[in-house]
Structure 1
């Protein structure tokens, strides 16, 4: 059986946070000096549905952190809070040391330019070619000439292996190619933080592995802080420097990936192994 749920959500029993000691101050501390992004005691409800229940987490610089957890547990909602698309009911979101909800909207808009986001389905504009999709942020947010934009776009398309597809429409390329085009678009403003919302969604195992190879290759070249939300354990095992497990709007484990996958903790071991037997149940 999983954590017991009473009729009153406030009485719900959640597993305690399992934290690897090697991660500095850890997800529940007041601050972590080396993090570029952190959330503290984050609470968020939609109507009567409470999604975030005091979630606290730090994201390490120049590292890939994978966020895992069952559907509906708050992973994508966390990303929307980080980029300032959702305001928490309570708690704080700090990016580069600044509380983003203590800013004016104009400042948040400028801050978002330091993010790149790869959406689940690539979120390409159907009426634009692959090239124009990737060029879109540069045309919207910079004063670069078309020649300068072309150099950047072609370099990013080459980086993700799509230089031969620049003139194709989104409906003329595969799902994996759409994800890579979305990744190229996420990179054109040279972001310091890149968010991936289930990049492997809808892809077969081979294309998932190929996309993971591209993520690792680009990260090795460009560095930056990558946050990957996924259900795919193989993706987490392949790309992660750090792993965070979220259950019912709280962090229940956070630590280096090698320690996570070697953990003997029943909750962590069950989730990362995909076992049906253990403390995590259907509820």
Structure 2
């Protein structure tokens, strides 16, 4: 965004509340199974506030399930999910619903409503969860659409825009409530390398401006290298590595090295 296009953000981010350990979100000793399939197997992670944490791991190891636990859509079989200093399964559903408003979520396919144009898709959370006037909503939505480079596409239907544009529209919608935590469920899924890189640029730019706590689930190692402050690597429902991104990509651990290098030789096999 050029300097002469800069607008004042309609409202200011609330400073994230951290728990006693200084983390805005954490999961501890998380167990979850679906029938006989054990997905979470004692998983623990503390997410650094105002940083981008990338969650990596083989398919079926629980990355997207972790996000659903964080936002309170799935209840663990055992273990705790702490957000903004509260165990979200130790509070009433009404309070949990209020906490969810402090999250933004970008789903794999953007999850846009096909019957609404881009503008109305992005405005939807504000209309549903706030009492803002339409002029206030327009100010916020226009700002967020400009931020992701979609101000010229606001009247287009989802079937009239590309996959990359759908992702950016979903990102704009995830941001309109000024969330303190933004969850990305494979934002690069289905995108070619160039559009993936462009989307990553948008994520980095907006994070630099908003300084929220971002959690990115991805299979794409290039995405992890480009956007991560921290990397969490999950295998068989447990965390096998968590730490600064630069240390992850120089790790001598056999599993970490194999997965991040995409090597066929190592402890990770086809099963």
Hey, what's the Cα distance between the residues in 2 that align with 1:160 and 1:34?
31
Aligned length: 253
SS at match of 1:116: strand
Question: CA-to-partner distance for each residue in 1:12-63, whole Å, 9 max, x for gaps?
Answer: xxxxxxxxxxxxxxxxxxx871211000100001011110000000000000
RMSD (Å), alpha carbons: 0.8
Which of 212, 230, 233 lines up with 1:245 in the alignment? Answer: 233
What's the counterpart of residue 154 of structure 2? 166
Who is 2:171 aligned against? 183
**Greater relative contact order (CA < 8 Å, ≥ 6 in sequence):** 1
4+ runs deviating over 3 angstroms: none
Structure 2: any 5+ residue segments left out of the alignment?
1-18
C-alpha distance in 1, partners of 2:135/2:23?
36
Match of 1:96 in 2: 84
For residues 169-210 of structure 1, the C-alpha deviation after alignment (integer angstroms, 9 at most, x for no partner) is: 000000000000000000000000000000000000000000
Q: With the length of structure 2 as denominator, give the TM-score of the two structures.
A: 0.92
Q: What is the aligned counterpart of 1:114 among 98, 102, 105?
A: 102
Contact 2:26 2:45 in 1 (8 A): yes
CA distance in 1, matches of 2:93, 2:44: 24
**Equivalence map 1:39-188=2 (5 Å):** 39-188=27-176
Partner residue in 2 for 1:212: 200
Equivalent position SS for 2:182: strand
Q: Counterpart in 1 of 2:7?
A: none
What corresponds to 1:7 in structure 2? Answer: none
Check if 1:33 corresponds to 2:51.
no
Q: Contact 1:32–1:58 at 8 Å: present in 2 too?
A: no
Q: Aligned residue for 1:21?
A: none
Which sections of structure 1, spanning at least 5 residues, go unmatched? 1-30
CA distance in 2, matches of 1:85, 1:78: 10
